[in-house]
Amino acid sequence: MKTFKLVGLSVIDEGMHRRDIPFIDGLIINKEDGQNRWLVEAYLDDEYEPVFAGLKERTEFQLQVTITNPGNDPANMLVAVRSITKMNGHISVLMEGLMIPRRTHLAEMVLAGLVEKGLQGEALLKEFRQQMDERQGVRARDGRT
């Protein structure tokens, strides 16, 4: 197993909106089990307990994590909450899940948002292409590829 410092944490809701979650400390562990499974542990204020208690009720949800350096691109994950431990005004949340390949996730995220808006056929295809071009253009302008 390899352990890394967690420096960014965001929950992606069903509408594909990102909610940044401030945390005090965190780790992410590559289980190196041949199945691309990871553990994420975040130590945060207990005001976020209801958020993670709700997420624990779900089978899985999308998470974005930034590893080691705040300048790194976030990695996308599909995770489940395994435990929430209370600690003197704070909580420790343990999540387990899989990394999602970046390109696949971006396309799926854009497509899901457009389908949710009710787009179909040629309008869906046109808007999908436009949003993918915009998002890839943003990464290119930022110096990311």
Say if residue 7 is in the same domain as residue 77: yes
**111 and 93 share one domain:** no
Using a cut of 0.85, tell me whether the model's pTM lies above it.
no
Q: CA separation (Å) from 29 to 35, 63, 93, 102?
A: 13, 15, 14, 19
90 & 110 share domain? no
Same structural domain for residues 96 and 117? no
pLDDT confidence of 18, banded at 50, 70, 90? confident
**Are 95 and 111 in the same domain?**
no
Residues 57-89: pLDDT tens digits?
999 999 999 999 998 888 889 999 999 999 999
Q: Is residue 41 domain-shared with residue 11, that is, in the same domain?
A: yes
Q: Over the stretch 107-143, which tens digit does the pLDDT of each residue have?
A: 777 787 788 888 888 988 888 888 776 655 444 434 4
Asked if residue 117 and residue 73 are part of one domain, the reply reads no
Give the chain's domain count: 2
Three-class DSSP category at 30: strand
* Rounded CA separation 40/26 (Å): 7
* Residue matched to tokens 């696949």: 104
Domain with 37, as residue range(s), is 2-100
Q: What are the DSSP calls for 85-137, one per residue?
A: EEETTEEEEEEEEEEE-HHHHHHHHHHHHHHHTT--HHHHHHHHHHHHHHHHH
Is 5:72 a contact under the CB 8 Å cutoff? Answer: no
Is 45 in the same domain as 108? no
- Point out which residues pair with 143 in neighbouring strands: none
Same domain, 132 and 76: no
Count helices and strands (H / E) in the chain: 3, 7
Same domain for 48 and 69? yes
Longest dimension (CA), the chain: 55
Q: Do 23 and 89 fall within a single domain?
A: yes
- Whether 80 and 107 map to the same domain: the answer is no
Q: Which two tokens stand for residue 129?
A: 């292409």
